[in-house]
């Protein structure tokens, strides 16, 4: 039976609780050790089947619409895979509502791409191995595989080796995006061997998460911080403003420019955000998002299977979830 209306899918952003660049690889990328955490700030995708087989995307930030958009590229990539596997073509109309700032270090584009992959696998009735899904995700960007499972995860290699962890201690997060762009490639290029980490802080934080212990906030690290603070004075100034506003800990997310400050209680977080907003900073008050919350919101694929064998696409009734449609294949064009 044709499936005619849209599903809405949230695409949660991330912060890097730790981000250690371990060294340069022969392929030009860098090896990483990072503990990533999904957060409540999110974009929303609406995906509706397009019976004519066309794949299109509209976005409330018009400059982000178009073929370069990672969610649309995810649709094309999955469609190419489906064609190769089943000899049929698949259409979709994607509407993308942006909330996560772009080029911010929060993984917004990567989250959109992963959400599109998961939703379309279901919408198009594609069953594929978790490994294949991960490979498609990694082709779209280093951060994309993490967003297939969300929650808290240890990320290694170029970013494609994702080990799901239990949910880290829940935290309120004040996010502040200074008004500068830090291109990711340039941020990596600015690093030298003297900046590289050894992965010890990441191992310690991952260990605490595995034990269910409170996060050792004094062990949150980010290899990019020194160079980004040096090269972007507006980031250094925003950092000082966050500390002055009462943030006990301030860290960079990804290669920036967004800074985050974790809080264990809402009141000081809200007070800090208010002060920063009054001073003209672009801020958000968010919180960490556990894996169960991601799975409830995204009843589209068995993300638990991502650490294991085959990725099947159970129906909402099997999962006890709501808000999705039966994973019926679309009629052939
Ligand atoms: O994979 P992604 O498109 O996110 O990477 C953007 C750029 O960041 C790459 O072209 C590369 O220069 C750099 N990068 C890196 N090592 C990584 C991830 C990204 O050097 N692990």
State the pLDDT at residue 86. 60
Q: pTM higher than 0.85, yes or no?
A: yes
Task: Say how far residue 300 (Cα) sits from the centre of its chain.
Answer: 17
The CA 231 to ligand 1 mean position distance, Å, reads 19
Identify whether 320 is part of a domain: no
Identify whether 2 is part of a domain: no
State the pLDDT at residue 88. 64
Distance CA 113, CA 107 (A): 10
3-class secondary-structure state, position 37 = strand
State the pLDDT at residue 301. 44
CATH number at residue 222: 3.30.230.10
Q: How sure is the predictor about 126, in pLDDT bands with cuts at 50, 70 and 90?
A: confident
Q: Tell the residue nearest (CA) to atom 7 of ligand 1.
A: 185
Query: Among all chains, which residue has been given the structure tokens 């998460």?
Result: 209
Distance CA 311, CA 129 (A): 5
Phi, psi angle pair for 68, to nearest 5°: -75, -15
Identify whether 181 is part of a domain: yes
The CA 224 to ligand 1 mean position distance, Å, reads 13
Identify whether 328 is part of a domain: no
The average confidence (pLDDT) of the chain is 87
Candidates 111, 188, 223: which one to mutate for ligand 1, based on the most atoms within 8 Å of Cβ?
188
Structural domain boundaries, residue 238: 7-306
Q: Tell the residue nearest (CA) to atom 12 of ligand 1.
A: 185
The CA 223 to ligand 1 mean position distance, Å, reads 14
Q: Which sequence positions are flagged as catalytic?
A: 14, 143
The fraction of the chain above a pLDDT of 70, given in percent, is 86
State the pLDDT at residue 172. 98
In this prediction, residues 115-133 reach a mean pLDDT of 88
Identify whether 323 is part of a domain: no
> Which residues are bridge partners to 14 per DSSP?
38
**Residue 158 Cβ < 6 Å to ligand 1:** yes
Q: In the predicted model, is pLDDT for residue 25 greater than 60? A: yes
Q: In the predicted model, is pLDDT for residue 304 greater than 70? A: no
In this prediction, residues 119-143 reach a mean pLDDT of 90
Q: How sure is the predictor about 325, in pLDDT bands with cuts at 50, 70 and 90?
A: very low
H/E/C letters for each residue in 222-272?
Answer: ECCHHHHHHHCHHHHHHHHHHHHCCCCCCEECCCCCCEEEEECCHHHHHHH
Task: Say how far residue 217 (Cα) sits from the centre of its chain.
Answer: 21
Q: In the predicted model, is pLDDT for residue 309 greater than 70? A: no
Query: Total domain count for the chain?
Result: 1
- Residue 171, classified by CB atoms within 10 Å of its CB into exposed (0-12), middle (13-18) or buried (19+), is buried
CB-facing half-sphere around the CA of 261: CA atoms within 13 A = 28
Identify whether 195 is part of a domain: yes
Q: How sure is the predictor about 145, in pLDDT bands with cuts at 50, 70 and 90?
A: very high
Identify whether 99 is part of a domain: yes
The CA 264 to ligand 1 mean position distance, Å, reads 32
Distance CA 159, CA 170 (A): 23
Q: In the predicted model, is pLDDT for residue 316 greater than 60? A: no
Residue 106: CB atoms within 10 Å: 28
Candidates 107, 142, 199, 227: which one to mutate for ligand 1, based on the most atoms within 8 Å of Cβ?
142
Q: Which atom of ligand 1 is nearest to the CA of 188?
A: 20
pLDDT digit string, tens, across residues 200-258 = 999 999 999 999 999 999 999 999 999 999 999 999 999 999 999 999 999 999 999 99
């Amino acid at each position: 039976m044709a499936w005619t209306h849209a599903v809405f899918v949230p695409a949660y952003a991330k912060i890097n609780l730790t981000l250690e660049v371990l060294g340069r690889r022969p392929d030009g990328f860098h090896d990483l050790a990072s503990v990533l955490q999904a957060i409540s700030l999110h974009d929303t995708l609406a995906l509706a089947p397009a019976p004519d087989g066309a794949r299109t995307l509209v976005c409330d930030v018009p400059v982000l619409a178009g073929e370069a958009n990672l969610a649309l590229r995810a649709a094309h990539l999955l469609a190419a895979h489906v064609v190769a596997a089943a000899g049929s073509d698949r259409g979709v109309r994607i509407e993308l509502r942006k909330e996560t700032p772009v080029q911010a270090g929060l993984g917004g584009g990567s989250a959109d791409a992963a959400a599109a992959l998961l939703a379309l696998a279901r919408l198009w009735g594609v069953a594929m191995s978790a490994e294949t899904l991960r490979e498609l995700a990694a082709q779209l960007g280093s951060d994309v595989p993490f967003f297939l499972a969300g929650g808290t995860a240890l990320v290694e290699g170029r970013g494609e080796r994702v080990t799901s962890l239990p949910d880290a201690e829940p935290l309120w997060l004040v996010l502040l995006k200074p008004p500068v762009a830090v291109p990711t490639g340039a941020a990596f290029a600015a690093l030298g061997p003297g900046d590289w980490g050894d992965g010890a802080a990441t191992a310690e934080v991952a260990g605490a998460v595995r034990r269910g212990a409170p996060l050792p906030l004094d062990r949150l690290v980010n290899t990019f911080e020194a160079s980004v603070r040096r090269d972007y004075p507006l980031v250094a100034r925003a950092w000082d403003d966050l500390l002055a506003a009462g943030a006990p800990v301030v860290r960079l997310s990804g290669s920036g420019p967004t800074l985050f400050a974790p809080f264990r209680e809402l009141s000081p977080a809200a007070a800090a955000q208010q002060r920063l907003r009054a001073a003209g900073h672009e801020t958000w008050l968010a919180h960490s998002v556990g894996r169960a919350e991601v799975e409830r919101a995204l009843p589209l694929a068995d993300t638990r299977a991502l650490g294991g064998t085959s990725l099947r696409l159970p129906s909402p009734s099997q999962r006890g979830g709501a808000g999705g449609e039966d994973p019926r294949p679309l009629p052939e064009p």
